[in-house]
Amino acid sequence: MNKNLSGRELQDEVTPFSLYANRRRFMKGIGAAGTLAASAAAYRWFNPVRKMELDTAAIDDLASVELTNEQRLERGFLVDEAMTSESNIISYNNFYEFSTDKNAVAEAAKNFDTKGWQIRVEGMVHKPRTFTIPDLKSVGPIEERIYRMRCVEAWSMVIPWAGLQLSHLIDAVEPMAEAKYVAFETLYDPVRMPGQKSSVLEWPYVEGLRLDEAMHPLTLLAVGLYGKELPAQDGAPVRLVTPWKYGFKGIKSIVKITLVSDEPPTSWKRFAPSEYGFLANVNPNVPHPRWSQATEQRIGENGRRKTLMYNGYEAQVASLYEGLDLSVNF
């Protein structure tokens, strides 16, 4: 390790997540230490294997994902920005099945029971299958991904997720040639999700991706955050994460994934098609009809920051949208 650490930096060394927050400083250290970043040992030091508290989906395969931090940055799997605190991530939520008040979701969802959860994967696939949460580990590693998250309401966070790259699940069920889109559905159970008794949205919440978007390596089925099992308010036990898209694409508490030939309905487009499109790619140049998308409030920060094209994932995803008029395809 870099021997020129200050006392504060030494303290950081034993506090992995504050280290992420001090990444810039850390990368300078890497520069001084030469090839350190390229070694698996450095990878493990930077990404210690942290077991989840419950045994449904321990992140015990992390060590098998032998990428250097430079490679992770290049792929968009790691962000060179401070992470949002765990307490902010788990207390400021959008999850209308429980409450439309972002500060009230956590309390309203605290008894949500996800034991025995199953996800059905069907439609245009050769091997339809029902997965439990522990089954997810059988199709690919549970990896840690540190992603920006940008809500269409213009607030943002940086979140350390743990999850399965969705492409591994889709490969496992063997899509037919006719499959062009992937549709996702949240649990419908107004007793367990009392917000579904209100008609603020049509239930269940539904979302969708083009198949090529669903197969993109950035697309994650998250089962954890901050090294712990996903809290109910963040979409337990499994939710979608597409970091270059507005947050509403990240459908929570998924029970069904269906491969289809045509663009599936999505909750927010159905609610207001002139305001919310199917693609919903983060784009500072295309304002929402009622507000600008040029800047955002990073939760926990003072002042606003500029919103980045594709939320900072342009290098990884722009090729998916070549030739599209982004003001029409929003």
Ligand X SMILES: Nc1nc2c(c(=O)[nH]1)N[C@H]1C(S)=C(S)[C@@H](COP(=O)(O)O)O[C@H]1N2
In the complex, the residues that contact ligand X under the rule CB under 6 A are 93-97, 151, 186, 205, 234-235, 247-248, 250-253
Nearer to ligand X, 81 or 97 (CB): 97
Nearer to Mo ion, 146 or 151 (CB): 151
Give the integer Cα–Cα distance in Å for 44 and 269: 42
Q: Which of ligand X, Mo ion, none does 266 bind, CB closer than 5 to 8 A by kind?
A: none
Nearer to ligand X, 146 or 251 (CB): 251
Q: Which segment (4-12, 24-32, 170-178, 241-249) binds Mo ion by CB under 5 A?
A: 241-249
Nearest distance from C-beta of residue 35 to ligand X, angstroms: 37
Q: Which of Mo ion, ligand X, none does 98 bind, CB closer than 5 to 8 A by kind?
A: none
Query: Using the rule CB under 5 A, is 151 a contact of Mo ion?
Result: yes
Question: Cis bond leading into 204, ω under 30°?
Answer: yes
Nearer to ligand X, 30 or 206 (CB): 206
Of these, 56, 69, 94, 283, which contacts Mo ion (CB under 5 A)? 94
Query: Using the rule CB under 5 A, is 204 a contact of Mo ion?
Result: no
Give the integer Cα–Cα distance in Å for 151 and 265: 20
- Residue 233 CA: distances (Å) to CA of 109, 240, 266: 6, 14, 21
Nearest distance from C-beta of residue 152 to Mo ion, angstroms: 5
- Residue 303 CA: distances (Å) to CA of 39, 166, 260, 306: 38, 35, 43, 10
Query: Using the rule CB under 5 A, is 247 a contact of Mo ion?
Result: yes
Where helices occur in the chain by DSSP H, the ranges are 7-13, 16-21, 23-32, 40-46, 69-75, 86-89, 105-108, 133-136, 166-173, 211-214, 267-271, 314-317
Q: Could you tell me if 263 and 213 are in contact, meaning their C-beta atoms sit under 8 angstroms apart? A: no
Of 69, 78, 28, 86, nearest in space to 227 by CA: 86
Nearer to Mo ion, 247 or 264 (CB): 247
Residues near Mo ion (CB under 5 A) are: 94, 151, 247-248
